[in-house]
Structures are given as C-alpha cells and as structure tokens.
Structure 1
Amino acid sequence: MKSCCLALPLALTCLAAHGQSSVTLYGIIDLGLTYTNSAQTGKVAGRPVGASQFALTDAHATGLSGSRWGLRGTEDLGGGLKAIFVLENGFFANNGTLAQGGAEFGRQSWVGLSSPYGTVTIGRQYDPYIEFLQPLAASGTFAGYMGSHPDDLDNLTNTNRTNNSIKFTTVKYGGFSAGGLYSLGGVAGNATQNQIWSLGAGYSNGPVSIAAGYFNARDPNVSLYGNTPNKGVATVNNIGSFGSATSAESMPVYAGYASAKTTQFAGAALAYTVASTTIGIVVTNTRFENLGSTIGPNPLKYTGNASFTNAELSVRTYVTPALLLGTAFDYTKRNSVNGDGGAKYLQLDFGAIYSLSKRTDLYALTVLQRATGVDSLGQASVASISGFTPSATNSQIGARLGIRHKF
C-alpha cells in the first residue's frame, strides 16, 4: 500500500511521507472454518476425553498467515544509510481481540539502521534461525501454522518471538546472507540469566536454496515462552498446561519440560526447484536441557535432557500460475526421559492455495497426525496438531477452509 496520511482513533497525528521519508500501512486478514475429529474437553479418571469440533477461527494458529496490521517506515539519511522501523500488531479477526498474549505490537516492534552492508535492528523481532529456515519448510509455503511440526516444537512458525534483542543481517553476497541476534536478559548481577542468542545463514542460486540456523534460550520458561503480557512468572508453566477435569491440555508434546535451564533449536533445510515443482527437506533438533531447574514447575520430577529430532520431506507445485498444491510428510522422535521410553509423531500435510488476485486467495488445508509412546505430561501420547486443541486419543485430523486478503 502506498504511503499516506492515516486517520486512526489511537493516533495523535497523521503519518505522512515527506521527501526521502515514508511510512506504509500494511496487513493481512485471514479467516476460515476449521474442523477436528477430536478435541479435548477435559479428563475422566485422569485420561483425556473429547469430541469433534467446528469453529470459525483466525489464522493466528491454524491458517496461512495470522491476521495483522502494521506500520513500516524508512528515512534516507544519505550515503546509503537509512533509518527503518516496523510496528506490527497481531489480532484475531474473528472477534477483534489482540493476539500474542495481549501485546499491542506483539508480532514485531523494532527500529534500526540499514546500510549497503546490512541492517542492525533492536526490539521485539524474529530471530535468524526462523528467518532463514521457515521459507523452506512446508509451514512457511503451503501448509500454514497447522502444518507446523507437532505443537511447533522447533518454533519454525514463530509461536514464540524474541524480546529485548539486537540483530544484524547482512545483505546478499553472491546469493549468500547471514544474521545474528542477541537478547539481553536484563537481570542485575547475572548477564546470562534469560539471555537468548541465535545465528542463521542461507544461500540461494538458481534452483537451489540452502539454509541453516541455531537458537539458544537460557531460562526459557520466562525468556522465550513467557515473554508476552499474560505470562512471565517462573513458578507458572508458561509453555502449556496439564489440563483438568474441565479443561484441555495445551502443548502436551513438550509442556512438561518447563523446568529446563536451556532450550535450543538447530536446523538445516534444502529446497530444489525443477520447472514449477519444488522438493524440500528440513531437519531440526530441539533440546530441553538440564531439566529440574527452578525456572519452571516440574511436577513429574524430570532430570537430564529431552531431545526431539524432526525430519520433513515436502513437495509443492504450481499446477497453474494461480493454483499451488503441496504435501509433506513429517517424522518426530523424542528420546527417553526418566525411563519413559520416549515418543514418536507421524504427520501428513496437504494444502491447496488458489489466488483470485495478487492480494486475495482461497485455500484448503488438511493435517493428519498419529502419536505413540509417552508424552511430556507422563501419559500415553496424544496427537496434537499445532494450533488445534490436542486430541483425546493418539490420532487427530485437522482441516481448514479459509480466505486470506493482503493489503
């Protein structure tokens, strides 16, 4: 959308472009009808129970692009140097409420400088691990949030962003670029408490795209999973919930590991395009290390490390310039923690996106998941498609019909 004066109820003055400065309003509205064959409603005798569910939902957790509006600005400072900023609000279009735990600009809020060598930005922002890997994953191309790996355990679809961060990203040199981020914990007398750091790199040339990334969060129950207005207390599980007789569990794949002293993600991805078809491979490893710290509750008395290895194979093709079809197979395996034998998750993703114009498209998504073993809540594993209420059984089907408009 072109720069213009904006009359917003909360604005003190209009925003305008003057000379070499510009401010742009942009956004996405994504709404759809979702269905799952099994959604938990509570527990009976300690075991989840549930039923099928239809709902009209925002794409925040189940569609292609969470609804948002934002302001993007730039000012030419001369000599190739520019001042830049982004303020981006996430909201639920189905009911008008704020997403990201009620944060006004919960998706992004940063300011920085760009130069012919790269950009430096500070604030709440995406980390390089996500920025380089996500565009090559099924969830970042055709499968949406519900096509994330179980409960988005490796954070490839931005379930959790990074506060208080400083980031540098290079420009592209011969198809190669890289970035690094450091988030200050801000704790007096302890420089490493709540700190986060991340690295990422990518290369794209012709039909080949390659990416790799790493992310490390100290005291993650607070620094990573608790960095929104409705969370942040170390004595509370900010990752998820064990559920109750009248409420569903949340993030059962890894919610039991809130006492980890460190969480880290590492991944690599490869995509190869032939004509209108792209084949992609993504491999990630997620680790919750030093379980049993005081940073989060540990009712199951876990110790040691929980490690998830995930492998995804995807294929997507443009049948016509307006119609994109895609499918992906995902395999996740966790090691044994405290002798529980571990867990496995198998997932199939299917997606179809039809573009009515450059700004508006219709889409259909389907995800099937099956779980085995024992999950982080110490129970027989239940299926848990990202963004959906976890299943009451070890299998789950999630489907969505949606419409997305960009402005």
Structure 2
Amino acid sequence: MKKSLLALAALGAFAGAAHAQSSVTLYGIIDAGFAYNNNSNGQKLYAMNSGNLQGSRWGLRGTEDLGGGLKAIFVLENGFNVFNGQLGQGGDMFGRQAYVGLGSTQFGTVTLGRQYDSVVDYTGAFEVGSQWASYFGAHPGDLDNMNNSNRVNNAIKYTSANYAGFTFGGLYSLGGQAGQFNRNQIWSVGLGYSQGPLQLGAGYLNVKDPNYSFFGNNATSRAATTTPSASNMSSRVYSGFASAKTQQVISAGGAYTFGAATIGATYSNTQFKDVNNEAGAGLNPAGYTGGSGKFHNAEINFKYQLTPALLLGVAYDYTKGYGLTDAKYHQGMLGADYFLSKRTDVYIDGIYQHASGTDSTNRTAVANINGLSPSTTSNQVAAVVGIRHKF
C-alpha cells in the first residue's frame, strides 16, 4: 500500500513537471475600418473593411519542451471578417497558418502544414503593405506575394537558428498528383540578416501551375479537376496569365534605422512562364500562344516616429511589365498610425495608382489597387481609416 502511494505521488510530480514545461497561447488581432474607393468598376464605393493593416485573426500557439534544447511546436491560425463573421482565406477554417513540427535552439526548426513561403518570410516585412499602408498599399495585385496573399499547402519547411544575425530557410510543397510529381509543386528559399540598425533579406519562389496550386488552394477555389477553364487570379495586373505553367519570384529588401527614422526598399522580379500551358479558354482570355508575362517592381519607403505614439509614413512603388505585357503602374502611399496603447492603435492611409500601357488581358491597362475591383480609367484612389486591437 505504501509503495503504491509513493508511486502515485511520483507520477503526479512528473505530470506536474511536464505540464509546467508545456504551454498553449490564445492570441489574435481585430482590425476594422471604413474604406473609400473612387472608382470600383466605374462607381464610387464606401464600405466597412476588415483586416486592413493586418488580417483579423485568432490563433492557438503551443510548445512542449522535450529537453536538450528540443521542443515540439504547433500553430493553428484562423482568419475572419469582423463585420460579418465569414471565414477568410477562401473559406478555410485555419487558412492563415496550420502546422506542427520540432524546433532546436542549435539547429533550427522543421514544420509540416500550411505555411508562408520564403519571399514572405525574408522580404515581405520590408514593403509598406505589410507595415503601415494597409493591404491596399501592397504591390499591384500583390504580384510577388510580399503581402502574403497566398499560402502554401502540403509544405515541409526549415528555418535556421540565428547565427550572428544571419538566418536562412526553405520550403517544399508536394503537389500530390498521382503520376505527375511536378504538378502543383512549390518550393522557395531565403536568407536574412539583422544586426543593429540594418536589416536585409532575399527570397526565391517557384510555383508550378500557380492558378491552382497557389492562387487556388482554398476551400472555395476552382479546382483543375472540376472546372479546368476557371481562373482563380482576379487582378487584371496578371489575370491574363492564369494559364501559365510556372510563376517565379526573385525578391530582395532592406531597411536602415537612424534615430526615429527608417528608410527601406524592395525589389522583385515576377514571371508567369509558359502562358497557354494550362487547358481552357477561360484561362487565356488574350489568346496567347506561348511566352511569359514578366514584371519588375521597385519600392522605396520612409517612416518616422514623430512621437512615441505617432508614426508617419510615405512610399512610392513602380511596376514595369515586359514580355507579354508592357503595362506600367505608378503607386504612391501616405499613412499615419497613432498608438493609444501597446495593443490598440488607430490609423489612416491613402493610396493613389496610375496605370499605362497594355495589361495582361491585352487591353489598355487600368488602375487596379491590390484587393479592389479595377478602375475603369488609368487612375484609382483608395483611403481607409480604422482601428486595430491585438490580444
């Protein structure tokens, strides 16, 4: 009897220790505002808008200490629209992130699930659409995915530990198509450096069959097996290239902080290769017989912490098409963000875009600010004012 009581006491102590070394955290962001668009398919639009500076979300993050510097980790993150409760990311329950893996303080982390690519991880933070300008301020159509419009399903991901300011990583996603190993395949690699006032990053992304594997990997997307002529690529910046076999992105970015000011810049080259590779007339509205739609994009941005509570920002972005398109997009952004506390802030942003040339649909280019319906003219203006709370 005495031995049994001692065993139970020891087991209880062990369970208590194990529990103390594990944790699960509930977290989230609620971002809501009022948005204005001066030309949405020819009409002015006034709308309540969710997830402007950051997508509204809630998530669970867990860790378990396995000893020897090794831990088990998981993240389940849901996106939603605060105004109507609808799921974000095309109807996925955990469409923002969902992964599990192992992390080592010495060797880095390996995770499996729905995750961010290396362009997002290593260069996305340098563009103002991911900072103070709202997703309207992302590069046109978020053509390089720096604003994280698209996640990667079925992904195996490695992220290194920090070595004297350097980090690196990579991701590989299996397409899961029987007899077609390369179909829907996605892979990416990236490198970052952060030391003192200087931050740098570079990323590479390669996507096979992007209309389905990248733009169409959500619950409500149009699948290749059921609707082969349906496009998941809505922005006119690149929607005419939905039949491309491959999307390739090369990106770089950096920022330098001096006192209360930070100056940053990004560059990306995005290519939709082998247009007319995917079957279906609906994927090739311009009737291309081959070739590639290509884009250079360059952004320069500046932000200033005027007071401990008030941040001001200004940025300019230029996109130049070549190959199957010669469209040009000039975009300017202004913004202010006032922090009422560490967790709550109010903001206002304005975005102006001017387009010229011929776009991916082989028609006269019109302005098409990210996340909005296209203008009927070469110009478009958007503005948003809102509040964000983090918990």
Are residues 1:380 and 2:372 paired?
Answer: no
Residue in 1 that maps onto 2:293: 306
Residue in 2 that maps onto 1:77: 66
Are residues 1:37 and 2:38 paired?
Answer: yes
1:295 deviates by 5.3
Are residues 1:330 and 2:317 paired?
Answer: yes
Structure 2 unmatched runs, 5+: 1-17
1:171 deviates by 1.1
Residue in 2 that maps onto 1:65: 54
Which of 260, 269, 272 is residue 256 of structure 2 equivalent to? Answer: 272
TM-score (structure 1 length as normaliser): 0.88
Residue in 1 that maps onto 2:79: 90
1:102 deviates by 0.5
Residue in 1 that maps onto 2:22: 21
Residue in 2 that maps onto 1:7: none
* Distance in 2, Cα, partners of 1:31 & 1:211: 30
Residue deviations 1:52-99 (CA, integer Å, cap 9, x gap): 11101112xxx1011000000001111111000000000000111111
1:178-257 equivalences under 5 Å are: 178-234=168-224, 235-240=228-233, 250-257=234-241
Alignment check: 8 A CA contact 1:125 1:161 kept: yes
* Distance in 2, Cα, partners of 1:321 & 1:54: 32
Alignment check: 8 A CA contact 1:221 1:237 kept: no
Letter in 2 for 1:89: N
Alignment check: 8 A CA contact 2:119 2:145 kept: no
Structure 1 unmatched runs, 5+: 1-16, 41-49, 241-249
CA change 1:295–1:176 in 2 (3 A) is farther
CA change 1:137–1:360 in 2 (3 A) is same
Which of 160, 165, 176 is residue 166 of structure 2 equivalent to? Answer: 176
Letter in 1 for 2:284: N
In our comparison, the structure showing a higher alpha carbon Rg is 2
1:188 deviates by 1.3
Alignment check: 8 A CA contact 2:260 2:305 kept: yes
* Distance in 2, Cα, partners of 1:232 & 1:36: 28
Which one is further off, 366-375 or 223-232? 223-232
Alignment check: 8 A CA contact 1:237 1:255 kept: no
Provide the alpha-carbon RMSD of the alignment. 1.2
Residue in 2 that maps onto 1:46: none
Are residues 1:282 and 2:266 paired?
Answer: yes
Residue deviations 1:359-395 (CA, integer Å, cap 9, x gap): 1000001100000011112221110111122111110
* Distance in 2, Cα, partners of 1:366 & 1:202: 30
1:265 deviates by 0.8
Residue in 1 that maps onto 2:128: 138
Residue deviations 1:154-185 (CA, integer Å, cap 9, x gap): 11111110000000000111100001000001
1:232 deviates by 4.0
SS of the residue corresponding to residue 304 of structure 1 reads coil
Alignment check: 8 A CA contact 1:258 1:295 kept: no
Which of 108, 111, 114 is residue 97 of structure 2 equivalent to? Answer: 108
1:238 deviates by 3.4
1:261 deviates by 0.4
1:237 deviates by 3.5
* Distance in 1, Cα, partners of 2:377 & 2:72: 52
Are residues 1:315 and 2:302 paired?
Answer: yes
Residue in 2 that maps onto 1:45: none
Letter in 2 for 1:369: Q
* Distance in 2, Cα, partners of 1:189 & 1:329: 46
1:207 deviates by 1.4
* Distance in 2, Cα, partners of 1:315 & 1:176: 24
1:135 deviates by 1.3
Alignment check: 8 A CA contact 2:212 2:232 kept: no
Letter in 2 for 1:102: G
* Distance in 1, Cα, partners of 2:126 & 2:329: 21
* Distance in 1, Cα, partners of 2:60 & 2:229: 34
Letter in 2 for 1:308: F
Letter in 2 for 1:293: N
* Distance in 2, Cα, partners of 1:222 & 1:211: 28
1:221 deviates by 1.1
Letter in 2 for 1:58: S
TM-score (structure 2 length as normaliser): 0.92
Residue deviations 1:27-70 (CA, integer Å, cap 9, x gap): 00000000011111xxxxxxxxx1111101112xxx10110000
Which one is further off, 370-379 or 173-182? 370-379
SS of the residue corresponding to residue 135 of structure 1 reads helix
Letter in 1 for 2:235: M
1:256 deviates by 0.8
Letter in 2 for 1:80: G
Letter in 1 for 2:66: L
Residue in 2 that maps onto 1:151: 141
SS of the residue corresponding to residue 18 of structure 1 reads helix
Bigger fraction of residues in helix = 2
